[in-house]
Chain A
Amino acid sequence: MERKTVSRLLDEGLKNYSRVEAPGVAPGMPARPRHDRINWWLWLPAPVAVAAVLTLLAVIPRRPEAPPPVQRGIAGTPPAPVFAGTQPSRPPSVAMRARRPRSQAPAPSIHVLSPEELAGMELPAGLFPKQPPRPLAGGEIVIPEITIREVTIPDIETRNTERPGSATTETR
């Protein structure tokens, strides 16, 4: 390298000596505020975390509704079904709940029978009148949808005189 070139390098180098090191920045002034320059990446996880929480809230299933009131029947017999038109049974009394064995399985929930299921069921005659299919004018048979609900069977010690013919009226 020639001496003249070295002299020019010195002059030009000293001109740039006090300039800022970042290119494209006005001499003597910082490019951006320091917090913006250094800490911007710290805010990156924030939207990711918010999105993750929202996704979890959408994915997690809702808490199931409270089960229907506990049904009780005679020991050894399944709970008697109740069909459409009946009122929801009242919750069992405190005394009944106290006598309920802990090992008893939870009562089945309400199940709405489809017309096909209903047509194939054998129902006790006289107690739960089965509505026969009503033919329409065009010959099409419409089976009404019947909701089967479960009711609380009175305690075995009490006599159910309101339901003649019911199995629960028998006293042990």
Chain B
Amino acid sequence: MRMGAAAELVIDEHAGGPEAVVEEHRRMAYRIAYSVLRNHHDAEDAMQEAFLRIWRASAKLPQIADRKAWVARIAWNVANDQWHKLSACAAGVQANVSELAGAVTRRHDRGANVEEVAAGAELQRLLEALIAGLPPKLRDVLVLSTVEELEAAEIGRVLGVSSVTVRVRLFQARRLLRAKMERLLVHHKETKAPRGTK
């Protein structure tokens, strides 16, 4: 029995090491980085940097209760740091929201259904541009909510707010985003319609 208990302890210590943490939360970390950076290669770089930080902080690992939220916070911070660097480099490059809205509308008018339009690159770029224009508090909650692995409570632990606050900000963010999209897409449709039809 004592030998078995010792073996279990060894296994637990090995399973709880940084390798196991990285392996368990790799997917989530990548999605968080991708939700911020919107680029596969940048997200990979951010994920590598996040795991490097996890490796350096492996001595603190036994004291960390919620490792998932801890990894998510590290990935979030790394991705935001990288996003600020990339934004500084790409200053002045702004997506033309009106053109993107026009492309989405044209695709819908050609007969594509909602799923096809939603999977298209035009709508994704339009969403990126609109989300980038949200207030930072609402934007962070909305971006993290798109990561499937994260619940409201975990988003709150990443951002340092309560789960109720997360839900409220998420509701506000979606409402604001919907209003922007309606103004663009519905307005675009109406302006394109002939005068006699009104």
For A27, the closest partner residue in chain B by CB is B31
A110 within 8 A of B: no
B9-17, B88-96, B111-119, B156-164: which lies at the interface: B111-119
Q: Would B34 and A9 count as touching, CB distance under 8 A?
A: no
Q: Min CB distance, A116 to chain B, in Å?
A: 79
For A26, the closest partner residue in chain B by CB is B27
Q: Would B127 and A14 count as touching, CB distance under 8 A?
A: yes
Q: Min CB distance, B72 to chain A, in Å?
A: 13
Contact of A2 among B32, B127, B174, B186 (CB under 8 A): B186
Q: Min CB distance, A68 to chain B, in Å?
A: 69
Which residues 13-41 in B have Cβ within 8 Å of A in the complex? 26-28, 30-32, 34-35, 39-41
Per-residue interface assignment for chain B, residues 36 to 75, with 1 indicating a CB less than 8 Å from any chain A CB and 0 otherwise: 0001110010000000000000000000000000000000
Main SS class of interface, B: helix
Interface residues of B toward A: which range? 35 or more
Q: Would B182 and A18 count as touching, CB distance under 8 A?
A: no
Q: Min CB distance, A16 to chain B, in Å?
A: 6
Q: Would A30 and B40 count as touching, CB distance under 8 A?
A: yes
Q: Would A5 and B114 count as touching, CB distance under 8 A?
A: yes
Question: CA A18 – CA B181 in complex, angstroms?
Answer: 19
Question: CA A62 – CA B74 in complex, angstroms?
Answer: 67
Q: Would B185 and A17 count as touching, CB distance under 8 A?
A: no
For B184, the closest partner residue in chain A by CB is A6
A28 within 8 A of B: yes
Which of A1, A14, A15, A34 has the largest number of chain B CB atoms within 10 A? A1
For B104, the closest partner residue in chain A by CB is A9
Q: Would A18 and B34 count as touching, CB distance under 8 A?
A: yes
Q: Would B34 and A3 count as touching, CB distance under 8 A?
A: no
Interface residues of A toward B: which range? 20 to 34
Q: Would A18 and B31 count as touching, CB distance under 8 A?
A: yes
A20-B34, A30-B40 are contacts. A1–B105 as well, Cβ < 8 Å? yes
Question: CA A12 – CA B143 in complex, angstroms?
Answer: 14
Q: Would A5 and B108 count as touching, CB distance under 8 A?
A: yes
Q: Would A13 and B124 count as touching, CB distance under 8 A?
A: yes
Question: CA A17 – CA B124 in complex, angstroms?
Answer: 7
Chain B residues contacting A28 (CB-CB under 8 Å) are 26-28, 30-31, 34
A8 within 8 A of B: yes
A170 within 8 A of B: no
Q: Would A10 and B35 count as touching, CB distance under 8 A?
A: no
Chain B residues contacting A27 (CB-CB under 8 Å) are 27, 31, 148
A3-B182, A5-B108, A34-B44 are contacts. A13–B31 as well, Cβ < 8 Å? no
B87 within 8 A of A: no
A6-B178, A30-B40, A34-B44 are contacts. A17–B105 as well, Cβ < 8 Å? no
Question: CA A5 – CA B109 in complex, angstroms?
Answer: 12
Chain B residues contacting A17 (CB-CB under 8 Å) are 35, 124, 127, 143, 146
